[in-house]
């Protein structure tokens, strides 16, 4: 789905208004969206790519050091 969104001035900041069609995507007032720059342009997503990377690093660490984590959990 492609949709045109206008950037507007809101006080001293800039903002965008999402139409009701975005409610079908599970978005609602108060949700946080992340603006992520990609080689193709800009991606607006409810998922934090930095958090996803950190979780992947944590999973690798837990896989590599299960005994140390087991001892720390005691």
pTM: 0.54
What pLDDT score was predicted for residue 65? 92
Q: Do the beta carbons of residue 16 and residue 5 sit within 8 Å?
A: yes
CB-count burial class (<10 Å; 0-12, 13-18, 19+) for 57? exposed
Q: Tell me the helices (H) and strands (E) count for the chain, helix number first.
A: 2, 4
For the chain of 74 residues, list the mean pLDDT of each consecutive stretch of 10.
Answer: 82 86 79 88 83 88 90 89
CB proximity list for 54: less than 8 A, separation 6 or greater: none
Can you read off the two tokens belonging to residue 15?
């903002």
What per-residue confidence (pLDDT) applies to 1? Answer: 62
């Amino acid at each position: 789905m492609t949709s045109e969104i206008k950037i507007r001035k809101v006080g001293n900041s800039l903002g965008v208004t999402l139409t009701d069609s975005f409610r079908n995507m599970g978005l609602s007032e108060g949700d946080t969206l992340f603006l992520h720059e990609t080689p193709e342009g800009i991606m607006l997503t409810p998922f934090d790519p930095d958090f996803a990377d950190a979780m992947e690093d944590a999973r690798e660490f837990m896989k590599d050091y299960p005994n140390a984590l087991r001892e720390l959990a005691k």
